[in-house]
Amino acid sequence: MIDFSSLSMLPSVDFYFLRHGKSEGNLQDLVQGRLNFPLSELGRGQAEATGKWFTGKPIVRVFTTPLARGKETARIVCEVASFPGPEELPALIELDTGVFTGLTLEQAKVRYPEMYQRFLKESWEGVEGAERIPQLQERATVVWKTLVASVKELREEGVAESIGVLAISHAGLLQWIVKVTLGSQSWFPILPMGDCGIYHLSLQGTVSRWALLNFQAPGVTGHR
Catalytic residue positions, numbered: 20, 94
Long-range contacts of 220-224 (CB under 8 A, 24+ apart): 220/46, 220/49, 220/50, 220/194, 220/195, 220/196, 221/194, 221/195, 222/22, 222/42, 222/46, 222/194, 222/195, 223/192, 223/193, 223/194, 223/195, 224/26, 224/171, 224/192, 224/193, 224/194, 224/195
Distance CA 137, CA 31 (A): 21
- Biggest alpha carbon–alpha carbon distance for the chain: 57
211, containing H or E segment: strand 207-215
Collect all residues with Cβ–Cβ distance below 8 Å to 218 and sequence separation of at least 6. Answer: 49, 53
Of 199, 200, 163, nearest to 10 by C-alpha is: 163
